[in-house]
């Protein structure tokens, strides 16, 4: 029979491994997130595409190409106000 403390330890390790696998892919680069976002957009999976582009923008918030892709995804999703904001951030404003 397995001692109770060993069983608790095993269950804790098991659940922590499961939970850690459920989070966002923080190891991916913004480029990888953008590629995923584009692929999901091409497949018509707009909500997951929005999540991926948000992940990309977390590390590169001033990247105009990412902002443009975000605007495109939001536009396809019918979120026109969000698309307009992203397109505005993508276009550089002269000083």
- Torsion angle of alpha carbons 46, 47, 52, 54, nearest 10°? 110
Average pLDDT over residues 15-23: 46
Residue 23 placed within a domain: no
* Predicted local confidence at residue 12, as pLDDT: 62
Number of domains in the chain: 1
Buried b (16+ CB within 10 A) or exposed e, 17-41: eeeeeeeeeeebebeebbebbbebb
Residue 2 placed within a domain: no
- What CATH number does residue 73 fall under? 1.25.40.10
pLDDT beyond 50 at 94:
yes
Are residues 71 and 46 in contact, defined by beta-carbon separation less than 8 angstroms? no
| Residue range of the domain that includes 50 | 29-95
Tens-digit pLDDT profile for residues 22-59 = 445 557 899 999 999 999 999 999 999 999 999 999 99
Per DSSP, the chain holds a count of helices (H) and strands (E) of 5, 0
Residue 15 placed within a domain: no
* Predicted local confidence at residue 86, as pLDDT: 97
Please tell me the pTM assigned to this model: 0.71
């Amino acid at each position: 029979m397995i001692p109770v403390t060993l069983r608790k330890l095993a269950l804790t390790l098991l659940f922590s491994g499961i939970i850690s696998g459920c989070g966002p892919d923080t190891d991916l680069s913004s480029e990888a997130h953008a590629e995923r976002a584009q692929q999901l957009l091409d497949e018509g999976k707009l909500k997951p595409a929005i999540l991926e582009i948000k992940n990309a923008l977390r590390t590169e918030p001033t990247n105009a190409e990412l902002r443009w892709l975000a605007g495109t995804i939001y536009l396809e999703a019918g979120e026109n106000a969000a698309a307009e904001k992203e397109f505005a951030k993508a276009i550089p404003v002269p000083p």
